[in-house]
Amino acid sequence: MKTMNVGTWRKAIPALAVALLSVGVINAQTVITPSKNNYTPAEDVELGRQAAAEVEKQLPMLRDDAVTSFVAAIGRRLVVVIPSEFRHAEFRYSFQVVNVREINAFALPGGPMYVNRGMIERARTEGEVAGVMAHELSHVVLRHGTAQATKATKYELGTLAGAVIGAIIGGRVGGAVAEGTQFGLGTAFLRFSREFEREADLLGAQIMAHAGYDPREMANMFETIEEEGGNGMPQWLSDHPDPGGRSEAIMGEAQLLQVQNPRRDTRGFDQMQARLNGMAPAPTTEEATRGGAGGSTSGPPDDRPAPGPPASVAAPSSRSTTYTEGDLFRVSVPSNWDELPGTNSITFAPEGAYGTAGGQSVFTHGVQIGIARADTPNLRTATDEFIASLARGNPNLSRPSRYGGTSIGGRKGLHTALSNVSDATGGEERIEVFTILLRDGSLFYVIGVAPRERASQYQKTFRQVIKSIQLMD
Ligand SMILES: [Zn+2]
């Protein structure tokens, strides 16, 4: 359901102004020597190509030109300053954004790189995104994946590709870690040794400085990732273990480097984050890949929030929380619904069920309670007009065929059920509208929204919400 109040509820991430200081004198940077590798660079490319095809089938790629080009531009800025001794003519670098929530990124042998939307959303600066990308890029140019496989044993290329895919997809879905050699082998590509981590930190810092980014921003982002861990270790850190004194080592290397032509324009990054904030929240990887739903190779067009499977929204809690809204009314809603204030309305919706699309608020589960102007003292006519105004923003909204009675705060009102096509998911949804007239003649309304397949479950909740309303007008 798209509603009339405009507002982005998801908290904007404060963009910290970071002074890009050029520190110290140059040319003392740490020298990195590539490790032994039994594979050819062409084999890296083939391996990465096979794994990338599978990754893009399994994980939802964000199909948004503005965001993807911005990330790709950071990537190209880094690629052009790869030190000549680490360049491989066969490698083809590509950059994609995965529309999932976790703070993570990974790169495949030979060049394909994937940055989670959650990573970009949590970064405070473009430099922080560049830091993670420079680190990933360093693993690719140093050919750490195949170097680690070399240390293990010599495997056939086909086996390796399967293993890489297993590690990316299998190991990340539902937290179920597949046992057995295939997974163990796959981890060889994505779970790097501490020595390789140290190398990627140092080369990443060098590449950043040459590309105009302060290497210290890489350390800042790693700290954010660590803080995000909560109870478990974030995936990124388990794949890229701290080699010990990570921040200090990056800061130390930064002292040896001079940032070339520091990038100071932060507008592009701010605009991109605002764009992401305007989309429906990204699902978790588990939600995105559950039941093979992740394969959005033909994803949503620009500016349309990615579909989130209904299963990703928690059912209404049986406990309720009471809210007092000004001196107008009091209402109790399930405790797991967030309160989202608008201009003339307030929406209560569970996490993952609200966002904005095309500058308008959208919610897929929950209720909106508000006041609309009524040009008539006739409740029936006022309700018809109100629904017509809703239909202007929701072209697929059905019209009421009949009204039933309801009671809100002891006053007689009207109730009707409508169908709509959700702007957020493209799925059919059921809309319940309850209205009464207030003493000042305005229309007090409650809109309940739920996907069609969960309509009966939510119907009960809407009834309880309606029953709880106490009017104070
Ligand atoms: Zn790493």
User: For residue 200, how far is its CA from the centre of ligand 1 (angstroms)?
Assistant: 6
Residues 6+ apart with CB under 8 A from 147: 34, 35, 36, 37, 196
- Residue 29: how many CA atoms within 13 Å on its side-chain side? 23
Residues 6+ apart with CB under 8 A from 23: 254, 255, 257, 258
H or E element in which residue 159 lies: helix 157-168
- Cα of 144 to ligand 1 centre, how many Å? 9
Q: pLDDT at position 65, please?
A: 94
Distance 415 CA to ligand 1 centre (A): 57
Instruction: HSE, CB side, 13 Å, CA atoms: give it for residue 40.
Output: 5
Cα 192 to middle of ligand 1, angstroms: 6
Q: How far is the CA of 177 from the centre of ligand 1 (A)?
A: 20
Please, which residues have CB within 8 angstroms of residue 136's CB and are 6 or more apart in sequence? Answer: 105, 106, 107, 113, 200
| Pairing relationship of beta strands 366-372 and 404-408 according to DSSP bridges | unpaired
Distances (CA, A) of 364 to 23, 67, 266, 383, 458: 50, 24, 33, 22, 12
Nearest to 238 by CA among 187, 311, 201, 276: 187
Instruction: Tell me how far apart the alpha carbons of residues 103 and 98 are, in angstroms, rounded to a whole number.
Output: 11
How far apart CA 90 and CA 76 sit, in angstroms, is: 16
Most distant CA pair in the chain, distance: 83
Ligand 1 centre distance from Cα of residue 237 (Å)? 8
| 92 C-alpha to ligand 1 centroid (Å) | 20
> Which amino acid is present at 189?
F
Cα(18) to ligand 1 centroid in Å equals: 24
Q: Phi and psi of 6, rounded to 5°?
A: -95, 135
In the numeric block, the tokens 């990338």 are attached to: 52
Among the listed residues 269, 257, 272, 270, the one whose alpha carbon sits nearest the alpha carbon of residue 208: 257
Give the chain's end-to-end CA distance (angstroms, integer): 27
CA of 410 to the centre of ligand 1 (A): 63
Output the pLDDT for position 260: 87
Q: Tokens 């904030």 — which residue?
A: 277
Measured in angstroms, how far is the CA atom of residue 168 from the centroid of ligand 1?
A: 15
Residue 63 has a pLDDT of 93
Ligand 1 geometric centre to CA of 388 (Å): 55
What is the predicted pLDDT for the residue at 306?
41
Cα 126 to middle of ligand 1, angstroms: 19
- The tokens of 291 are what? 């039941």
Q: 229: CA distance to ligand 1 center in Å?
A: 17
Q: How far is the CA of 173 from the centre of ligand 1 (A)?
A: 21
Residue 179: per-residue pLDDT: 30
Distances (CA, A) of 399 to 5, 384, 390, 420, 431: 21, 9, 10, 10, 11
Q: How far is the CA of 195 from the centre of ligand 1 (A)?
A: 10
Compute the distance between CA of residue 461 and CA of residue 456 in angstroms, rounded to an integer.
9
Low-confidence ranges of the chain (pLDDT < 70): 4-27, 152-190, 229-233, 291-311, 342-343, 355-360
Give the separation between CA 282 and CA 100, rounded to whole angstroms. Answer: 5
Fill in the amino acid letter for 226.
E
Whole-angstrom distance, CA of residue 370 vs CA of residue 355: 18
Specify the DSSP class assigned to residue 234.
Answer: -
Cα of 252 from ligand 1 centre, angstroms = 18
Q: Please choose, from the candidates 404, 456, 461, the residue with its C-alpha nearest in 3D space to the C-alpha of residue 435.
A: 404
User: Residue with structure tokens 């904005």?
Assistant: 356
Pairwise CA distance, residues 228 & 236, whole Å? 11
Cα dihedral: 172, 177, 179, 184 (round 10): 50
pLDDT tens readout for residues 195-215: 999 999 999 999 999 999 999
* pTM of structure: 0.55
Residue 140 CA to ligand 1 center (angstroms) comes to: 10
Tokens of 467: 């029953």
Between the CA of 186 and the centroid of ligand 1 the distance, in Å, is 15
Cα(50) to ligand 1 centroid in Å equals: 21
Task: Report how far ligand 1's centroid is from the alpha carbon of 223 (Å).
Answer: 14
Cα(185) to ligand 1 centroid in Å equals 17
89 Cα to the center of ligand 1, angstroms = 23
CA of 197 to the centre of ligand 1 (A): 5
Q: Cβ–Cβ contacts within 10 Å for residue 143, how many?
A: 24
Ligand 1 centre to CA of 246 (Å) is: 11
pLDDT at 304: 38
pLDDT at 126: 97
Residues 92 and 212: their CA atoms lie apart, in Å, by 22
Q: How far apart are CA 342 and CA 304, in angstroms?
A: 21
- Sign of the dihedral through C-alpha 92, 97, 99, 104: positive
CA distance 66 to 71: 9
Q: How far is the CA of 137 from the centre of ligand 1 (A)?
A: 9
User: How many Å apart are CA 370 and CA 269, to the nearest integer?
Assistant: 35
Parallel/antiparallel/unpaired status of strands 94-98 and 112-116: parallel
